[in-house]
Chains A and B, each alone.
Chain A
């Protein structure tokens, strides 16, 4: 009987211990399907800018971290359900997401762009090189008007639940036919197959795909930033609360902000950005 009691006690005790271990080990969720931000190598290991940056930040915070994979469309729900503690998945800081979760300061920023297959009649669209929707002004208005005309009647493809979808559905470029996909890979496939006339995503997502696949994918129109495109990419964390986990989340946010500061000062973010993007996307 004693042994029986002991076993039960040990099991119960271990349940409490798990709570403590959990406090020291951070789980970071990423998509693993949005190169060069995050992706997977041939043997299924997570790689990319954010995977390396996460390791650097954890080293600075002196935390043990594990990086776990999560489909994009379930990323925020999974964070809320405590499947992991932080999101590093090329997720832009937007007001809409901030209603549900909180973000660290941004660690990188990168413009969005439309892409088409070479030979599309959208190539050579007369727009400025880049527009910042937050700034507004006559240039932006004119560019949006040009885009509205160019995109009318076209099938525009993008990934579900992204800033790109928000922009396309915002009405800034008129009422267009938007088609959404679960992953960027699928967007790329349907852009090359011709089912999509034009696609919208991070500019690097297209250039990376064009480089690796050798397909004639080319960027058109202006690059986009500001407005619906958010304020850079940060670490997504649960909003803090009064219970133990809520307090821990508040501390985690502080730790991440500090670690990002340190990494920025040491030039770690710039170095990793140049390595993965080919230019300094750090912020």
Chain B
């Protein structure tokens, strides 16, 4: 064990974890919007809208994230027509390709988490609102959404942790995130065990933080208090 290397690589790896957190937070932000929109489409009664939303979540939950990021980065880059459009300004950048892949992936999972949360709301609660003469819109914003968010917290916490680990794939499209920098250090020191132990420790620490934040939120918005 080369402890010197572990210590000397720590600052570089901590610096790189900022990139990881940036990738995570940006894709979670957009993913939440996408997920929310598709969750609403999923509970829509119109079969076409419903199936469209289902198709999206099926596609992105049914294929590996690595394949998705490769198709978006290397695949789309090979289409000559695309390179002449304004889309190329975004797709040219590895960073945005990674964000698009992560957003679509987490969006698909989030839409399913929110959908199931909406569907677990007992009809009695909505009926109670209706019998009090509360308009449907208010019922949706003031009853359905808060309950759905609370219901989905545990599952969404898992999704955040999964996504955090998923961001390590950004290194496959040249981004210098935590895994990317770890690989870079290994390419000059040839000591994968030491460097990956430190990188793994940082991932573990980030998971610890996320886990506790979610736990705190769950407690805060618990129905029992």
Give residues in A with beta carbon < 8 Å to B.
73-74, 76-77, 80, 96, 100-101, 157, 160-161, 165, 179-182, 186, 189-190, 192-195
Contact = CB atoms under 8 A, between A and B. Distances in A.
A181 B174 contact: yes
Contacts of B192: 74, 77
A179 B190 CA distance: 20
A100 B78 contact: no
B10 to A, nearest CB: 20
Given A189-B77, A195-B77, A77 B174 contact: no
28 contacts: A73-B183, A73-B186, A73-B187, A74-B192, A76-B190, A77-B186, A77-B190, A77-B191, A77-B192, A80-B190, A96-B188, A100-B190, A157-B174, A160-B183, A160-B184, A179-B94, A179-B174, A180-B174, A182-B172, A186-B74, A189-B74, A190-B77, A192-B78, A193-B77, A194-B83, A194-B88, A195-B77, A195-B92
A156 to B, nearest CB: 12
A114 to B, nearest CB: 18
Nearest to B88: A194
Contacts of A179: 94, 174
A40 to B, nearest CB: 18
A-B interface, 8 closest residue pairs, ranked by CB to CB distance from nearest:
A161-B187, A193-B77, A76-B190, A179-B174, A77-B192, A100-B190, A160-B187, A77-B190
Given A77-B192, A189-B78, A193-B77, A180 B184 contact: yes
A207 B172 CA distance: 25
Interface of B: 74, 77-78, 83, 88, 92, 94, 172, 174, 183-184, 186-188, 190-192
Nearest to A166: B188
B109 to A, nearest CB: 27
A194 B92 contact: yes
Nearest to A189: B74
A100 B191 CA distance: 10
A180 B173 CA distance: 9
Contacts of B77: 189-190, 193, 195
Contacts of B191: 77
Contacts of B94: 179, 195
B19 to A, nearest CB: 14
Contacts of B184: 160, 180
Contacts of A192: 78
Contacts of B190: 76-77, 80, 100-101
Contacts of B183: 73, 160
B75 to A, nearest CB: 10
B160 to A, nearest CB: 27
A180 B172 CA distance: 10
Contacts of A157: 174
Nearest to A72: B187
Nearest to A99: B190
A132 to B, nearest CB: 24
Given A73-B183, A77-B190, A194-B88, 15 more contacts: A77-B192, A96-B188, A100-B190, A157-B174, A160-B183, A160-B184, A161-B187, A179-B174, A180-B184, A181-B174, A190-B74, A193-B77, A193-B83, A194-B92, A195-B77
Contacts of B78: 189, 192-193
A200 to B, nearest CB: 15
Contacts of B88: 194
Contacts of A193: 74, 77-78, 83
Contacts of A186: 74
Given A186-B74, A189-B78, A161 B188 contact: yes
A157 B173 CA distance: 12
A168 to B, nearest CB: 13
Contacts of B174: 157, 179-181
Greatest chain B CB density within 10 A among A96, A100, A190, A194 is at A190
Contacts of B187: 73, 160-161, 165
A213 to B, nearest CB: 11
Nearest to B172: A182
A101 B191 CA distance: 12
Contacts of B74: 186, 189-190, 193
Nearest to B191: A77
A103 B94 CA distance: 36
